[in-house]
């Protein structure tokens, strides 16, 4: 993956219209130049081994060789961006064991889904800092539960501080890939995510075209807004079902499936640089979970001048296509190397994984196997 220069909306759209992006340098699956290698995104850090979205998880990911660490961002009541996959924190912290917060338990509708629990927007940062992270999926990752209660919920700034420290120590720049979570929901609450993302990147000298930063969103409108304020690269995330929440709320009938058609990809190229599709958008599975024919999305995206970084490869049988499961034990590891290779064979530019160590090993193995082909 080589996103060195932030292309402007005009330059991408114009170049695409002129057919100048038909053969981007990163599109070829053979990558003898390591600068063009598939980059590994430590998904929620190294969440296969530590409770997700903790400094310990991000640090382990970087030490395992991840090129990027990935904080999902939600706001506190006092408007501080913190790293959580969702604003409901009953599933990833010990908040339920804090009697002083028992009356904060409530029911809300987030992006059309009713949820009961505790929500970051109802806690100040000082209150949130009294909580400790816990493993999200203890049944599948029981070993990770030994870390329950040991790590705080980090702020975005603390993640960037860690990134800076580890970049110096490891003598390579660790990238960061923040994701704005539920942007329409938080804008309506008066806690928009985008100003904090822009300010924090500005404050840290990271809002520049050659910064190793990519900002992600499942929505479209906020990426277009960020495109006007940020000089870093933007990732349009693509679910394998449904539609962007802002499209739904605006009555726009287009779905994610529409966005990965050539016309949709050309539109994305007007405001973003990368698509981050579910792996099933590239390698679909049948109702029994087995792989079927690959789609043309990777080639179509490259044709539009977009790079492709799918999510998320996890080693446990529970998350793998049926082709690669080792047994019916959902917690056991399957043949995750073969799943990585199947994705790399499609010519992807990066990969999100809960297991960055295995992703790096598979990437290196694939590079060696395809060198000179
Ligand atoms: O950002 C890539 C991937 O993380 C998107 O899915 O739900 O894990 O944030 P999610
Ligand atoms: Ca994410």
Q: Percentage of the chain with pLDDT > 70?
A: 91
The confidence score (pLDDT) of residue 3 equals 55
Distance 99 CA to ligand 2 centre (A): 30
Ligand nearest to C-alpha 312:
1
> What gap in Å lies between CA 40 and CA 46, rounded to an integer?
11
> What gap in Å lies between CA 370 and CA 372, rounded to an integer?
6
215: CATH: 3.20.20.190
User: Is the beta carbon of 352 within 6 A of some atom in ligand 1?
Assistant: yes
User: Is the beta carbon of 354 within 6 A of some atom in ligand 1?
Assistant: no
The confidence score (pLDDT) of residue 34 equals 57
Domain-embedded: residue 187: yes
The confidence score (pLDDT) of residue 19 equals 31
Q: Which residues of 1-17 are buried (b: 16+ CB within 10 A; e: fewer)?
A: bebeebbeeeebbebbe
User: Is the beta carbon of 83 within 6 A of some atom in ligand 1?
Assistant: no
User: Is the beta carbon of 216 within 6 A of some atom in ligand 1?
Assistant: yes
The confidence score (pLDDT) of residue 2 equals 59
Domain-embedded: residue 207: yes
Cα 296–Cα 181–Cα 59 angle in degrees, nearest 5: 90
What end-to-end distance do the CA atoms of the chain give, in Å?
Answer: 19
Tell me if 70 sits within 8 A of 53, measured CB to CB.
no
Extract the residue ranges of the chain whose pLDDT is less than 70: 1-35
> What gap in Å lies between CA 289 and CA 319, rounded to an integer?
10
Count Cα neighbours of 257 within 13 Å in the Cβ-side half-sphere: 5
Residue 322 dihedral angles phi and psi, to the nearest 5°: -55, -30
CA nearest to 95, candidates 47, 69, 128, 61:
128
Residue range of the domain that includes 243: 8-71+154-370
The count of residues in the chain is 373
Domain-embedded: residue 361: yes
User: Is the beta carbon of 43 within 6 A of some atom in ligand 1?
Assistant: yes
> Which residue has the CA at smallest separation from atom 6 of ligand 1?
311
Q: Which residues of 313-338 are buried (b: 16+ CB within 10 A; e: fewer)?
A: bbbbbbbbbeebbeeeeeeebbbbbe
Q: Give the atom of ligand 1 at the shortest distance from the alpha carbon of 179.
A: 1
Distance 44 CA to ligand 2 centre (A): 7
Ligand nearest to C-alpha 236:
1
> What gap in Å lies between CA 146 and CA 281, rounded to an integer?
35
Domain-embedded: residue 125: no
User: Is the beta carbon of 353 within 6 A of some atom in ligand 1?
Assistant: no
The confidence score (pLDDT) of residue 372 equals 74
> What gap in Å lies between CA 245 and CA 239, rounded to an integer?
11
Q: Is 187 helix (H, G, I), strand (E, B) or coil?
A: helix
Domain-embedded: residue 342: yes
Handedness of CA 227, 229, 234, 238 (dihedral sign): negative
Q: State how many domains the chain has.
A: 1
Distance 371 CA to ligand 2 centre (A): 31
Q: What is the pTM of this model?
A: 0.92
Domain-embedded: residue 81: no
Domain-embedded: residue 363: yes
Distance 131 CA to ligand 2 centre (A): 22
Domain-embedded: residue 113: no
């Amino acid at each position: 993956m080589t996103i060195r220069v932030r292309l402007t909306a005009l330059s991408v759209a114009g170049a695409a219209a002129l057919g100048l992006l038909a053969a981007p340098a990163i599109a070829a699956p053979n990558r003898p130049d390591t600068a063009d290698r598939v980059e590994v995104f430590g998904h929620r850090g190294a969440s296969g081994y530590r409770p997700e979205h903790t400094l310990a998880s991000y640090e382990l990911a970087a030490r395992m060789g991840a090129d990027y660490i990935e904080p999902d961002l939600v706001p506190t009541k006092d408007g501080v961006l913190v790293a959580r996959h969702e604003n409901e924190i009953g599933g990833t912290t010990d908040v339920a064991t804090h009697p002083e917060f028992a009356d904060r338990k409530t029911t809300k509708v987030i992006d059309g889904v009713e949820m009961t629990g505790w929500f970051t927007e109802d806690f100040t940062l000082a209150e949130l800092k009294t909580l400790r992270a816990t493993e999200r999926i203890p049944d599948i990752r029981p070993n990770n539960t030994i870390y329950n209660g040991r790590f705080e919920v980090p702020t975005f700034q603390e993640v960037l501080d860690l990134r800076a420290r580890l970049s110096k120590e490891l003598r390579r720049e660790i990238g960061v890939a923040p994701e704005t979570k539920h942007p329409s929901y938080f804008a309506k609450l008066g806690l928009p995510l985008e100003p904090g993302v822009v300010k924090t990147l500005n404050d840290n000298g990271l809002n520049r075209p050659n910064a190793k930063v990519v900002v992600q969103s499942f929505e479209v409108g906020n990426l277009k807004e960020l495109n006007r304020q940020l000089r870093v690269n933007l990732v349009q995330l693509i679910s394998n079902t449904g539609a962007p929440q802002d499209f739904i709320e605006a009555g726009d009938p287009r779905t994610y499936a529409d966005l990965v058609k050539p016309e949709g990809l050309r539109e994305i190229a007007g405001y973003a640089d990368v698509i981050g599709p579910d792996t099933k958008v590239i390698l679909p599975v049948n109702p029994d979970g087995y792989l079927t024919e690959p789609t043309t999305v990777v080639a179509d995206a490259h044709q539009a001048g977009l790079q492709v970084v799918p999510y998320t490869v996890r080693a446990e049988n529970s998350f793998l296509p049926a082709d690669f499961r080792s047994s019916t034990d959902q917690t056991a590891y399957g043949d995750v190397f073969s799943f990585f290779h199947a994705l790399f064979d499609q010519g992807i530019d990066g990969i999100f994984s809960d297991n960055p160590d295995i992703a790096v090993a598979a990437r290196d193995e694939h590079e060696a196997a395809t060198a000179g082909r």
